Amino acid sequence: MIFTNSKNIQLCCYCGTRKATTKDHIPPKSIFNKPRPNDLITVPCCFECNNEASKHDEKFKAYLGMHVARQGGEAKRLFKEGVLPTAKHNNKLRKTIFDTMRPVYTTTQSGIITGKAMSVLWDSEAHDYTIEKIIRGLFYHHYKKIIGSNASVKTHWFKQLPNGYENILYGKTIANGQFMYLYNKVDEANFDSIWMFNFYNGHFAGGIVTLHPNLKAHFISFLTFVVTWDLTGFG
């Protein structure tokens, strides 16, 4: 609970208009295995935004878990203990995922076929919503300012985090390395900033905060990923 008084009302760090009456985890706590790491970041949030976020969090976790499971370790455990039970209970989500599955051949970099696998299309709405929320939350966490409707957030999916940014961006690692992020803000600007996220060393995304709503992104998004692990138990 966040305490407020009439002179100093804590506003929700997402909408920036309603009173914050709860806290939200950044990134969503459901993407981490239990027992949950104790260094997760929380931000002030209103009931409505928190409720809306929860709807997207489950979907994000499902796709993330499927995507990063190939990394093994905690990522694989997320798929087994976090995603499979969700998929079993959530028929709609399971159907959405299966509807986009297509058989593909896996190849080496030079194009030699190494096997068969299934590709999955990640629901970009669920992906981008959560990535944008993480950017807005972390922006508040680091700069104590609410983006709200003052600037727009453009999100991207990276195949790998681009090289060469390590020297100009701040880097932070939480949750035993399961979530890492890079960021920086233009000094003289209120909101213009860049954000890059690494989930379980297997999913990379990020975005920019900009005052220019029509600015075209210079990154290419890859929204299809290949499942190369055993899906037994998913259906």
Q: How near is the Cβ of 190 to Zn ion at its closest, in Å?
A: 20
Query: Binding to Zn ion (CB under 5 A): which residues in 5-44?
Result: 12, 14-15, 18
Residue number with CB closer to Zn ion (17 or 114): 17
Site for Zn ion in 87-106 (CB under 5 A): none
Residue nearer to Zn ion on the CB measure, 49 or 138: 49
Shortest Å, Cβ 17 to Zn ion: 7
CA atoms within 13 A on the CB side of 135: 29
Among 31, 43, 49, 78, binds Zn ion (CB under 5 A): 49
Q: Which of 31, 43, 46, 93 binds Zn ion (CB under 5 A)?
A: 46
Sheet holding 113-121, edge to edge: 102-107, 113-121, 224-227
Residue indicated by tokens 């804590």: 10
CB 174, min distance to Zn ion, A: 23
**Alpha-carbon distance 149 to 23, whole Å?**
20
Q: Please state, in angstroms and rounded to a whole number, the distance separating the CA atoms of residues 26 and 43.
A: 7
**183 near Zn ion, rule: CB under 5 A:** no
Question: Rounded to an integer, what distance in angstroms lies between the CA atom of residue 155 and that of residue 197?
Answer: 11
Q: Of 183, 149, 190, which is closest to residue 166 (Cα–Cα)?
A: 183
Positions touching Zn ion (CB under 5 A) are: 12, 14-15, 18, 46, 49
